[in-house]
Structure 1
Amino acid sequence: MTLRVAVQMDPIETINITGDSSFALMLSAQARGHEVWHYDVKSLALDEGRLTAWASPVTVQRVPGDHFQKGEARKIDLAKDVDVILMRQDPPFDLGYITATFLLERLAGQTLVVNDPASVRNAPEKVFVLDYARFMPPTLVARRIEDIRDFHARHPDDLVMKPLHGNGGKAVVRIPADGSNMAALSELFDAAWVEPHMVQPFLPDISEGDKRIVLVDGVFAGAINRRPGEGEFRSNLAVGGYAEATTLTAREEEICAVLAPELKARGLVFVGIDVIGGKWLTEINVTSPTGIVAIDRFNGTDTPAMIWDAIEIRYAAMLG
């Protein structure tokens, strides 16, 4: 099966090809003979019901400093000129991101969008996970300082506060047990974000790492353990964490088994979940998950191929 693939992502010129999951997916698509296009989400246009984008044909290669060749951009019809769209631009999950999901949702039944845009919109990382509270640490979603103080009274050790729609470990802060910076941080968060914030007890197990587990159409594909860098409590690779090989605990296997049917039903083909201490589920990443390059490096696997297998099966099913 040969597909025409459009990748909606950030500028290809600036990606780090050594670990970028979107780049790995493009390489894999190209190896299968698929035609690959690149476009910026800002070029999307809906003109009398016709959804278009300014896209360029691209070829990619794993050569630092010379990792792509791009043809001349032209306006393409996303319902007629492509078969599959990979929605891979990085968060923030803001109104621009949400608007793009509304536009791409109009392609249902014509072009396969991965991950499904309606499901991406309805399953933000730190909100969708609340459906699985039995696997989570105690969690508060609120803005009022009074609510945060009440939560702290019930969980009197260190807390972690983070933006509800943040990503990559950005603006994740630690509140000490004495609560000395709680009011100041709450004021800062209130000024920066209009939505509520997420507050949880600090998990000392984070020193042993934060596991990224990748599921492809609900099936376990692989995992890495991300450990915090020197002087950090955040383990995200984007803020200096480092990866190591790992296996799943029985609890993590249970989490994957419980999530699998819902992910598959929602059309969430490529998902990365985060688990701390082998038992605490903290996020279900659906917007632009990462980690497959490191997973494959440690495990000798081919996760991009697994993802394309799943996409091709879904595309064939869509055509009937």
Structure 2
Amino acid sequence: MGPCRRGSSGERSWGLGRESVGRRPRGKRVSVSEDGGERECFGSLSADVWLVLGAGLRRRKLTGRLIDSFAAEFGERCAVVGTDELLLGVRGGRLTLHDLHGCEVAAPATAYGRVWTPVASTDREITLLRHLEAMGTALLNPVDAVLACLNKFWHLQQLAVAGLPVPDTLSYANAPLGEAIGAGVPQPCVVKAVRGHRGEQVFLAPDAVMLQGIHGSLGQDAPYLFQEYVAHSHGRDLRVVVVDGRPVASQVRTSPHGDFRSNLAMGGTATLCTGSYPEGEALAVRAAEVLGLGVAGVDLLFTPDGGFTICEVNANVGWREQMTDVTPAVVAALRSRLAAKGRSVPAAR
């Protein structure tokens, strides 16, 4: 872990693990271990704002932009911490955190945790976030909210109970896949693994006969959901980024190749349209509120009546550099949580 700043070479300086770049952070101290030996401990042990990064997220451009903005706003009060750089403990009846040198680390007042949802584990990344929350850290996205978004059907359950519009969907627990299909799925239907991202493991099935013919070739690592196909929104959706109850950026995503999926990772294009679809943005805000997300990406499908239905909600949302209002909104959300904790807040920039 390390403070948010740039090294002398111009590289971002953060991290203690195998992937750290730039120079080591200042703040070296010596800790005496139980066996009487000494070990060196590095890092910003007093940082009260953390950016927590799960596996696969360190080298992304968005991560760099977040680090730069956090550094400009919070300076040495901010640390960037990989989920592979912390040890969790219970000592003397209290929860503790330690770096990989065994030095005890104070939990931050607030943190923005970004974990890659397709691989995030309840036994690993979620356990760490849960530990931080139990130690009093105010997470921008609380653990329960992140959990709801790990599984596409889980957040559909919550949204439906809250009365928000979602497509008709069928899923299963341990039922044989073929029998689940035979029981009656929407026709045509969008087939999705309950865990996935960027349009992967998603396809359009014209009917149940086709599904029965291929179901033996589908992976069984996680269940699938069979969702009503909204033809009116074929190859087009509305992505709204919500931060603390405010729609800070919206874009219409369009598939250029006739594919029903509009994900940018699948070759889609995006047009910024913040404020152009107030009804959709209001629905996105409500969805984030129902799930308890401080930062959310809400994907909406266009319906024939001019309205919207919720396709899915993402806790680990990405945003393009052109969406210039998102990162400042995330920083402002962290500032508000610092203030709520009674911590001093940097002067507004």
TM-score exceeds 0.5: yes
CA RMSD of aligned residues (A): 2.9
Q: Which runs of 5+ in 2 are unaligned?
A: 1-46, 344-349
Counterpart contact for 1:213–1:224, Cα < 8 Å: yes
Higher relative contact order (CA 8 A, sep 6+): 1
Call closer, same or farther: CA 1:116–1:77 in 2, change over 3 Å.
farther
Q: Does 1:102 align with 2:127?
A: yes
Give, in angstroms, the shift of residue 285 of structure 1. Answer: 1.0
Give CA-to-partner distance per residue, 1:24-60, whole Å, 9 cap, x none: 3222112214334334323332234422345xxxxxx
**Moved segments of 4+, more than 4 Å:** 74-78
* Counterpart-to-counterpart distance in 2, 1:281 and 1:117: 22
Provide the rounded CA distance (Å) in 1 between the counterparts of 2:80 and 2:214: 40
After superposition, residues 264-283 of structure 1 pair within 5 angstroms as 266=292, 268-277=293-302, 278-283=307-312
- Is residue 2:97 matched to residue 1:51? yes
CA contact (8 A) 2:288 2:298 kept: no
- Structure 2 Cα separation of the partners of residues 116 and 172 of structure 1: 27
Distance 1:129 1:248 in 2: 25
State the number of aligned residues. 279
Structure 1: gaps of 5 or more residues: 55-73, 297-301
The residue number in structure 1 matching 2:314 is 285
Contact (CA 8 Å) 2:52, 2:83: kept in 1 or not? no
CA distance, structure 2, for counterparts of residue 53 and residue 180 of structure 1? 54
Q: Distance in 1 between matches of 2:115 and 2:209?
A: 38
Deviation at 1:123, TM superposition (A): 4.3
Instruction: Report the CA distance shift for 1:254/1:29 in structure 2 as closer, same or farther (over 3 A).
Output: closer
Matched, 1:204 2:234: no
- Counterparts in 2 of 1:7 and 1:260: CA distance versus 1, 3 Å: closer
- More helix, by proportion: 1
Does structure 2 retain, via aligned residues, the 8 Å contact 1:98–1:121?
no
Q: Which has the larger radius of gyration?
A: 2
Shift of 1:87: 1.4
Q: CA deviation at 1:92?
A: 1.3
Shift of 1:241: 1.4
Give yes or no for the alignment of 1:314 onto 2:347: no
Q: Is the 8 A contact 1:214 1:292 kept in 2?
A: no
Alpha-carbon shift at residue 244 of structure 1 (Å): 1.0
Q: Distance in 2 between matches of 1:37 and 1:23?
A: 13
**Does the 8 A contact of 2:54 with 2:82 survive in 1?**
yes
User: TM-score under structure 1 normalisation?
Assistant: 0.75
- Is 1:83–1:111's contact at 8 Å kept on the other side of the alignment? yes
> Is 1:7 aligned with 2:52?
yes
Q: Does 1:162 align with 2:192?
A: yes
Change (3 A) 1:167 1:257: closer
For the residues of structure 2 that align with 1:214 and 1:11, how far apart are their CA atoms?
Answer: 22
